[in-house]
Structure 1
Amino acid sequence: MITIDYQSRAPIYEQIVERFQMLILKGVLRPDDQMPSVRSLAVQLSINPNTIQKAYTQLEQQGYIYPVKGRGNFVSGTGKLAEEKKEAFFQDLDELLHYGKELGITMEECRSFIEQSYRKEVEHD
Protein backbone atom coordinates (compact mmCIF):
# COMPACT_ATOMS: atom_id res chain seq x y z
CA MET A 1 0.00 0.00 0.00
CA ILE A 2 2.71 2.48 1.02
CA THR A 3 6.30 2.31 -0.17
CA ILE A 4 9.23 4.46 0.83
CA ASP A 5 11.88 5.65 -1.61
CA TYR A 6 15.06 5.79 0.46
CA GLN A 7 16.91 7.39 -2.48
CA SER A 8 14.52 10.37 -2.47
CA ARG A 9 15.53 13.65 -0.91
CA ALA A 10 12.00 14.06 0.44
CA PRO A 11 11.70 13.23 4.14
CA ILE A 12 10.06 9.91 4.89
CA TYR A 13 7.08 11.48 6.66
CA GLU A 14 6.41 13.67 3.58
CA GLN A 15 6.51 10.60 1.33
CA ILE A 16 3.97 8.91 3.61
CA VAL A 17 1.74 11.99 3.54
CA GLU A 18 1.88 12.19 -0.27
CA ARG A 19 1.14 8.47 -0.72
CA PHE A 20 -1.88 8.60 1.60
CA GLN A 21 -3.14 11.81 -0.03
CA MET A 22 -3.14 10.11 -3.41
CA LEU A 23 -4.78 6.93 -2.06
CA ILE A 24 -7.50 9.05 -0.49
CA LEU A 25 -8.04 11.32 -3.51
CA LYS A 26 -8.13 8.35 -5.90
CA GLY A 27 -10.78 6.68 -3.74
CA VAL A 28 -8.65 3.69 -2.77
CA LEU A 29 -9.20 4.78 0.83
CA ARG A 30 -12.82 5.90 1.20
CA PRO A 31 -14.41 8.26 3.72
CA ASP A 32 -14.63 6.69 7.18
CA ASP A 33 -12.19 3.87 6.31
CA GLN A 34 -9.84 3.20 9.19
CA MET A 35 -6.20 4.08 8.61
CA PRO A 36 -3.51 1.56 9.56
CA SER A 37 -2.44 1.99 13.16
CA VAL A 38 0.74 3.96 13.78
CA ARG A 39 2.42 0.94 15.30
CA SER A 40 1.44 -1.55 12.57
CA LEU A 41 2.48 0.81 9.75
CA ALA A 42 5.78 1.52 11.50
CA VAL A 43 6.46 -2.22 11.73
CA GLN A 44 5.39 -2.81 8.12
CA LEU A 45 7.68 -0.03 6.82
CA SER A 46 10.45 -0.68 9.37
CA ILE A 47 10.54 2.94 10.49
CA ASN A 48 10.11 4.83 13.74
CA PRO A 49 6.48 5.20 14.92
CA ASN A 50 7.15 8.92 15.55
CA THR A 51 7.64 9.33 11.80
CA ILE A 52 4.22 7.79 11.13
CA GLN A 53 2.67 9.94 13.84
CA LYS A 54 4.17 13.07 12.27
CA ALA A 55 2.69 12.10 8.89
CA TYR A 56 -0.72 11.40 10.44
CA THR A 57 -0.65 14.73 12.27
CA GLN A 58 0.03 16.50 8.99
CA LEU A 59 -2.75 14.56 7.24
CA GLU A 60 -5.12 15.53 10.05
CA GLN A 61 -4.13 19.21 9.84
CA GLN A 62 -4.77 19.13 6.09
CA GLY A 63 -8.20 17.57 6.58
CA TYR A 64 -7.51 14.15 5.06
CA ILE A 65 -8.04 12.15 8.25
CA TYR A 66 -9.66 12.57 11.65
CA PRO A 67 -8.87 10.84 14.95
CA VAL A 68 -11.34 8.92 17.10
CA LYS A 69 -10.12 8.60 20.66
CA GLY A 70 -9.30 5.01 21.49
CA ARG A 71 -10.11 3.74 17.98
CA GLY A 72 -7.50 5.30 15.68
CA ASN A 73 -7.57 7.51 12.61
CA PHE A 74 -10.17 7.52 9.85
CA VAL A 75 -10.41 9.00 6.35
CA SER A 76 -12.35 12.27 6.09
CA GLY A 77 -14.74 13.10 3.27
CA THR A 78 -12.67 14.04 0.23
CA GLY A 79 -14.98 16.13 -1.95
CA LYS A 80 -13.69 19.49 -0.77
CA LEU A 81 -10.07 18.27 -0.70
CA ALA A 82 -10.27 16.99 -4.27
CA GLU A 83 -11.68 20.32 -5.44
CA GLU A 84 -8.91 22.22 -3.65
CA LYS A 85 -6.26 19.99 -5.25
CA LYS A 86 -7.81 20.44 -8.70
CA GLU A 87 -7.95 24.19 -8.20
CA ALA A 88 -4.27 24.26 -7.18
CA PHE A 89 -3.37 22.06 -10.17
CA PHE A 90 -5.11 24.38 -12.64
CA GLN A 91 -3.53 27.43 -11.03
CA ASP A 92 -0.08 25.84 -11.42
CA LEU A 93 -0.91 24.82 -14.97
CA ASP A 94 -2.01 28.36 -15.78
CA GLU A 95 1.32 29.71 -14.53
CA LEU A 96 3.24 27.11 -16.56
CA LEU A 97 1.26 27.92 -19.69
CA HIS A 98 1.98 31.62 -19.22
CA TYR A 99 5.68 30.83 -18.80
CA GLY A 100 5.61 28.57 -21.88
CA LYS A 101 3.98 31.33 -23.92
CA GLU A 102 6.79 33.70 -22.87
CA LEU A 103 9.29 31.09 -24.11
CA GLY A 104 7.54 30.94 -27.47
CA ILE A 105 5.88 27.56 -27.02
CA THR A 106 2.76 27.35 -29.19
CA MET A 107 -0.65 26.09 -28.13
CA GLU A 108 -0.26 23.19 -30.54
CA GLU A 109 3.10 22.20 -28.95
CA CYS A 110 1.49 22.33 -25.49
CA ARG A 111 -1.53 20.31 -26.62
CA SER A 112 0.67 17.69 -28.28
CA PHE A 113 2.91 17.38 -25.20
CA ILE A 114 -0.05 17.11 -22.82
CA GLU A 115 -1.71 14.43 -24.96
CA GLN A 116 1.50 12.37 -25.17
CA SER A 117 2.18 12.73 -21.47
CA TYR A 118 -1.39 11.84 -20.55
CA ARG A 119 -1.28 8.71 -22.73
CA LYS A 120 1.91 7.59 -20.96
CA GLU A 121 0.23 8.03 -17.57
CA VAL A 122 -2.84 6.07 -18.66
CA GLU A 123 -0.58 3.22 -19.85
CA HIS A 124 1.15 3.12 -16.45
CA ASP A 125 -2.14 2.91 -14.49
Structure 2
Amino acid sequence: MDEVAGAIADPVRREILLMLRDEPLSAGQIADRFAISRPAVSRHLRVLREAGLVHDRADGRRRVYTLVTAPLDELAGWLRLLARPSGWQHHFDALETEVYRTRRDRRTAAAQMPAPQT
Protein backbone atom coordinates (compact mmCIF):
# COMPACT_ATOMS: atom_id res chain seq x y z
CA MET A 1 0.00 0.00 0.00
CA ASP A 2 2.86 2.42 0.79
CA GLU A 3 4.39 1.91 -2.64
CA VAL A 4 1.05 2.59 -4.32
CA ALA A 5 0.46 5.69 -2.20
CA GLY A 6 3.95 6.93 -3.05
CA ALA A 7 3.38 6.31 -6.73
CA ILE A 8 0.16 8.30 -6.87
CA ALA A 9 1.59 11.12 -4.75
CA ASP A 10 3.03 12.77 -7.86
CA PRO A 11 0.62 14.78 -10.03
CA VAL A 12 2.30 13.67 -13.28
CA ARG A 13 1.82 10.02 -12.35
CA ARG A 14 -1.81 10.64 -11.41
CA GLU A 15 -2.35 12.28 -14.79
CA ILE A 16 -0.75 9.29 -16.53
CA LEU A 17 -3.13 6.96 -14.69
CA LEU A 18 -6.09 9.07 -15.79
CA MET A 19 -4.89 8.93 -19.40
CA LEU A 20 -4.57 5.15 -19.23
CA ARG A 21 -8.05 4.81 -17.74
CA ASP A 22 -9.57 5.35 -21.18
CA GLU A 23 -7.19 3.33 -23.36
CA PRO A 24 -3.74 1.73 -23.47
CA LEU A 25 -1.11 4.19 -24.71
CA SER A 26 2.46 3.91 -25.88
CA ALA A 27 5.23 5.62 -23.94
CA GLY A 28 5.58 8.10 -26.79
CA GLN A 29 1.88 8.97 -26.76
CA ILE A 30 2.08 9.57 -23.02
CA ALA A 31 5.25 11.66 -23.29
CA ASP A 32 3.73 13.81 -26.06
CA ARG A 33 1.06 15.04 -23.63
CA PHE A 34 3.56 16.50 -21.17
CA ALA A 35 5.95 19.44 -21.25
CA ILE A 36 8.62 17.37 -19.50
CA SER A 37 11.38 15.31 -21.10
CA ARG A 38 10.83 11.78 -22.37
CA PRO A 39 13.35 10.38 -19.86
CA ALA A 40 11.34 12.03 -17.05
CA VAL A 41 8.13 10.44 -18.34
CA SER A 42 9.98 7.13 -18.57
CA ARG A 43 10.98 7.42 -14.89
CA HIS A 44 7.36 8.11 -13.93
CA LEU A 45 6.23 5.06 -15.91
CA ARG A 46 8.85 2.94 -14.16
CA VAL A 47 7.58 4.03 -10.72
CA LEU A 48 4.01 3.19 -11.76
CA ARG A 49 5.13 -0.18 -13.15
CA GLU A 50 7.07 -1.05 -9.98
CA ALA A 51 4.01 -0.18 -7.88
CA GLY A 52 1.96 -2.52 -10.07
CA LEU A 53 -0.31 0.26 -11.31
CA VAL A 54 0.54 -0.17 -14.98
CA HIS A 55 1.48 -3.12 -17.14
CA ASP A 56 3.64 -2.71 -20.20
CA ARG A 57 4.00 -4.91 -23.26
CA ALA A 58 6.14 -4.74 -26.33
CA ASP A 59 4.40 -3.82 -29.56
CA GLY A 60 7.15 -3.84 -32.11
CA ARG A 61 9.61 -1.16 -31.01
CA ARG A 62 7.02 0.56 -28.81
CA ARG A 63 6.06 -0.09 -25.18
CA VAL A 64 2.31 0.04 -24.64
CA TYR A 65 1.06 0.75 -21.11
CA THR A 66 -2.22 -0.40 -19.60
CA LEU A 67 -3.78 0.66 -16.30
CA VAL A 68 -3.98 -1.94 -13.51
CA THR A 69 -6.40 -0.88 -10.77
CA ALA A 70 -6.12 -3.89 -8.42
CA PRO A 71 -3.27 -2.38 -6.34
CA LEU A 72 -5.53 0.58 -5.54
CA ASP A 73 -8.05 -1.67 -3.74
CA GLU A 74 -6.07 -1.89 -0.49
CA LEU A 75 -5.47 1.85 -0.45
CA ALA A 76 -9.14 2.54 -1.22
CA GLY A 77 -10.16 0.27 1.67
CA TRP A 78 -7.88 2.12 4.06
CA LEU A 79 -9.25 5.47 2.88
CA ARG A 80 -12.80 4.22 3.52
CA LEU A 81 -11.79 3.38 7.10
CA LEU A 82 -10.34 6.83 7.51
CA ALA A 83 -13.46 8.50 6.14
CA ARG A 84 -15.85 6.40 8.23
CA PRO A 85 -17.20 8.29 11.25
CA SER A 86 -15.38 7.52 14.47
CA GLY A 87 -17.07 5.76 17.38
CA TRP A 88 -17.60 9.10 19.06
CA GLN A 89 -19.28 10.49 15.96
CA HIS A 90 -21.92 7.76 16.24
CA HIS A 91 -22.54 8.74 19.87
CA PHE A 92 -22.85 12.42 18.96
CA ASP A 93 -25.26 11.56 16.15
CA ALA A 94 -27.41 9.56 18.59
CA LEU A 95 -27.35 12.46 21.07
CA GLU A 96 -28.41 14.91 18.37
CA THR A 97 -31.29 12.63 17.40
CA GLU A 98 -32.41 12.41 21.02
CA VAL A 99 -32.27 16.19 21.47
CA TYR A 100 -34.45 16.74 18.38
CA ARG A 101 -36.88 14.03 19.51
CA THR A 102 -37.19 15.63 22.98
CA ARG A 103 -37.82 19.08 21.46
CA ARG A 104 -40.47 17.64 19.15
CA ASP A 105 -42.18 15.81 22.02
CA ARG A 106 -42.23 18.99 24.12
CA ARG A 107 -43.74 21.01 21.26
CA THR A 108 -46.37 18.33 20.69
CA ALA A 109 -47.22 18.19 24.40
CA ALA A 110 -47.46 22.00 24.60
CA ALA A 111 -49.75 22.11 21.58
CA GLN A 112 -52.06 19.53 23.14
CA MET A 113 -52.40 21.31 26.49
CA PRO A 114 -55.64 23.21 26.95
CA ALA A 115 -55.36 26.95 26.84
CA PRO A 116 -55.40 28.60 30.28
CA GLN A 117 -58.76 30.07 31.25
CA THR A 118 -58.94 33.65 32.37
Which structure features the higher share of strand residues? 2
Report the structure number with the largest CA radius of gyration: 2
TM-score, normalised relative to structure 1: 0.47
